[in-house]
Structure 1
């Protein structure tokens, strides 16, 4: 029987028209091209990551999930809708502006079969001076006003722009209009979904030279015009070896921890733990071993791992299923 241990995966890299080469700063060997996304932990038809360490090396997350079930992933560690791993963990390099977009809820009738909605959160790993994001509609903008602005090609007049710095965090429930902009690198924790509705894309061609598809009607249908509960916060008040809660949703709880001394922790039988190393370096020790880590690395800790210790000088995000 396989003893539980922290799983590390080979990322699935995605070329995007807005991507660049910034993920190389984490020591990742990325392919040629405009690499916008590193799917670090994924169990989706469009990208399933494979284990690179230990006894399960070479197996996809889907295979591990099917073989080891709730003992490893926890009683809450599965999507109730499609049975897959409930979260998708990404690193994003925004060398250019992303499309203005919105994601549906699980209940939207237009979703592809078996696909989930997409509530997500961002933690800003790096941001150039004057970097910004688009984060919600301006106050009072309803469906009719937005539809008219889209028709008249002045949608940007109806959107809120927010400056960003490293360490900022943004909770983005489904229905929230948003866009990362140039010069930002983020860690993204999201529902296990690959459904995005584009509202506006700056009239630019895609990687194939053709205009990228827009999804105006779907976007207008799923936007939460009265707000979906989006929130943002600065996180520079995080105290050493204490968890600071960044986001809480029906799909994930995400916390930030600053490690500067040995920190004894434990998993529970309810949920796996995902650790994203945001900066610095350190080590992860458990009953049967230890592993060194550095910024940009992500680990899935089985629900039955039990006690573990973080050490070093680093900042990590911890995500669990609520």
Structure 2
């Protein structure tokens, strides 16, 4: 039986648009000023997370699933995904805007890339004044109109741009055009996939003068051209109680504001549970194990562990992620 709460070594990714906030705000161990992403839990090929605590220290996520199977991930999840962990968990710092992009659905991703699709969500942890996100279209457009704006470099005229603040949540299903704007730091929960169709990259060169690839042709049939009145997810919070903010077939995410002690019972779930600390600091207790979790840290509760205690000596907030 996998009998401990598990923390993993963050996998830090330098990006052309990355900055310093993952180090300065979230205490990631780097002196680089271009770190855009911290992959907290990953089973992406070539970037498998390694355990940094307890009796499992040094083991990687693949070997854990191979050894513990449904005890680690849950019976239904193991039957469906086998020895592939279904979620990729990240913190992201955009010092500059990310490319305008979208992700293919499961069917397209499987056919073209032998991969899962990439449904994802964002929880804004910090945003500079007037920082924004691009999510979806602001008006109905045809493929032809979209291509015309792309050609004329006037995409922003048809895209929806929202100024954002701490606590804002956005759900990004496959096909929805999106970009994280400069000055935003957020938590991202997504399917295990690294397939991105980049449609516009602000005409910025790499340090060596080359340009990143664009995926104009691949994207045309993957884009969802429909519009919504609002792309922001509405939710409510209640202290010391988990409240749902996003639920889809790929993951459910709750927000859990904490002050004091909370006993958590996961007997209603056939799933691992991931906690991301997005404010303050807490301590997780299970049997004789105690693990501190600071803002910007993540912990995995195996599916076979059903009862834990969480203690917050200060006002803190967690995201709680699992699969229904």
The bucket for the TM-score relative to the shorter chain is over 0.9
Alignment of 1:198-209 (within 5 A): 198-209=198-209
Q: Are residues 1:123 and 2:126 paired?
A: no
Q: Are residues 1:257 and 2:248 paired?
A: no
Cross-structure match for 2:4? 5
Quick one: distance in 2 between partners of 1:247 and 1:177? 19
Deviation at 1:276, TM superposition (A): 0.1
- Closer, same or farther: CA 45–15 of 1 in aligned 2, 3 Å: same
TM-score for both structures, normalised by structure 1? 0.94
Cross-structure match for 2:317? 315
Contact 1:20 1:34 in 2 (8 A): yes
Alignment of 1:39-78 (within 5 A): 39-78=39-78
- Name which of structure 1's ranges 288-297 and 93-102 shifts more when overlaid on structure 2: 288-297
Alignment of 1:108-147 (within 5 A): 108=108, 112-147=112-147
**2:299 partner SS:** strand
Quick one: distance in 1 between partners of 2:79 and 2:124? 27
Q: Which runs of 5+ in 1 are unaligned?
A: none
Quick one: distance in 2 between partners of 1:53 and 1:134? 38
Quick one: distance in 2 between partners of 1:176 and 1:16? 22
Q: RMSD of the alignment, in Å?
A: 1.9
Quick one: distance in 1 between partners of 2:18 and 2:164? 18
Cross-structure match for 2:97? 97
- Name which of structure 1's ranges 178-187 and 269-278 shifts more when overlaid on structure 2: 269-278
Cross-structure match for 1:239? 238
- Name which of structure 1's ranges 109-118 and 166-175 shifts more when overlaid on structure 2: 109-118
- Closer, same or farther: CA 207–309 of 1 in aligned 2, 3 Å: farther
Quick one: distance in 2 between partners of 1:75 and 1:263? 26
Deviation at 1:83, TM superposition (A): 4.2
Cross-structure match for 1:221? 221
Q: Are residues 1:174 and 2:174 paired?
A: yes
Q: Are residues 1:288 and 2:288 paired?
A: yes
Cross-structure match for 1:15? 14
Contact 1:278 1:296 in 2 (8 A): yes
Contact 1:168 1:232 in 2 (8 A): yes
**1:144 partner SS:** helix
Q: What is the number of equivalent residue pairs in this alignment?
A: 320
Cross-structure match for 2:301? 301
Quick one: distance in 2 between partners of 1:79 and 1:197? 30
Quick one: distance in 2 between partners of 1:59 and 1:133? 37
Cross-structure match for 1:211? 211
Contact 1:267 1:304 in 2 (8 A): no
Deviation at 1:64, TM superposition (A): 0.7
**1:315 partner SS:** strand
Deviation at 1:30, TM superposition (A): 2.2
Quick one: distance in 2 between partners of 1:82 and 1:193? 16
Contact 1:7 1:300 in 2 (8 A): yes
Structure (1 or 2) with the greater helix fraction: 2
Quick one: distance in 2 between partners of 1:233 and 1:111? 31
- Name which of structure 1's ranges 151-160 and 57-66 shifts more when overlaid on structure 2: 151-160
